[in-house]
Chains A and B, each alone.
Chain A
Amino acid sequence: GESVGLHLPTLSVQEGDNSIINCAYSNSASDYFIWYKQESGKGPQFIIDIRSNMDKRQGQRVTVLLNKTVKHLSLQIAATQPGDSAVYFCAEKERAAGNKLTFGGGTRVLVKP
């Protein structure tokens, strides 16, 4: 498959362990945040989102945490599985400025069996 990025930070995690992926965002006016997963050769796939009036949101095996004070977002994946191996992107949006998403650089997650 295509290589998304040659110099991405990489997180290696043992199968069954929890993963934490971090993202620093730049626009203090951003009020909506999304995590996407991109597998090799595929387009970004929506995982979970969070609005700025929340600091935590949980989905199935995933939790997103938002710290607006330090402009930091994290994605926690519980009981990481081989199928979780992918590149993960955070994206931010300032809703008053339209629907344009600004993406972070991405983190590659490698799950070791």
Chain B
Amino acid sequence: DSGVTQTPKHLITATGQRVTLRCSPRSGDLSVYWYQQSLDQGLQFLIQYYNGEERAKGNILERFSAQQFPDLHSELNLSSLELGDSALYFCASSGMGNTDTQYFGPGTRLTVL
């Protein structure tokens, strides 16, 4: 158990809908990262938050957004969902240093029908 929690574990929804994925980082970690894992693209970095502020952006679509709250949990919002958004979404957390290990949560499996 990495100490990172994600809910829900599975999510099934329809095209055009909006969903919210939730992540709680390890105790004491200020950085939260979101990654998408699909069969054809592998693990792709989406976005990073540090202590409530956006720190880095990767291959995140404009239909997707994220935020980190004062209690350090983070939410990833996916809107106008398309079939191609079906994937595993992972959250990771780390400490402040730039070699601090990123610990991954168990993921949320999103299926868009």
Q: Which residues on A are within 8 Å of B, measured CB to CB?
A: 2-6, 32, 34, 36, 41-46, 49, 51, 89, 91, 93, 95, 98-106
Contact among B2, B39, B43, B103 for A103, CB-based, below 8 A = B43
Q: Interface extent on B, as a size class? A: 20 to 34
Q: Determine how close the nearest CB of chain A comes to the CB of B73; give it in whole angstroms.
A: 17
Q: Are A100 and B2 in contact (CB under 8 A)?
A: no
Once the chains bind, are A99 and B98 in contact (CB under 8 Å)?
A: yes
* Chain B min CB distance to A94 (Å): 10
Q: A3: which B residues are within 8 A, CB to CB?
A: 39
- Give Cα distance in the complex from A41 to B90, angstroms: 12
Which residues in A have their C-beta under 8 angstroms from that of B56? Answer: 98-100
Bound: A3/B45 CA distance, A: 19
Contacts of B4 in A (CB 8 A): 43
Does B101 contact A46, Cβ atoms closer than 8 Å? yes
Which 8 pairs of residues, A with B, have the shortest CB-CB distance?
A43-B104, A103-B43, A95-B98, A98-B56, A44-B104, A100-B45, A43-B106, A43-B107
Contact yes or no, B43 A44, CB < 8 A: yes
Which residues of chain B (64-113) have a CB below 8 Å from chain A? 88, 90, 92, 94, 98-107, 109
Min distance, Cβ A10 to any Cβ of chain B, angstroms: 15
Main secondary structure, interface of A, reads loop
A102 touches B45 (CB 8 A): yes
Q: A45 to B104, Cβ gap below 8 A?
A: yes
Chain A to chain B contacts (Cβ below 8 Å), 20 pairs: A3-B39, A32-B99, A34-B102, A36-B104, A42-B107, A43-B104, A43-B106, A43-B107, A45-B2, A46-B103, A98-B48, A98-B56, A99-B33, A99-B48, A99-B56, A99-B98, A101-B35, A101-B45, A104-B42, A105-B42
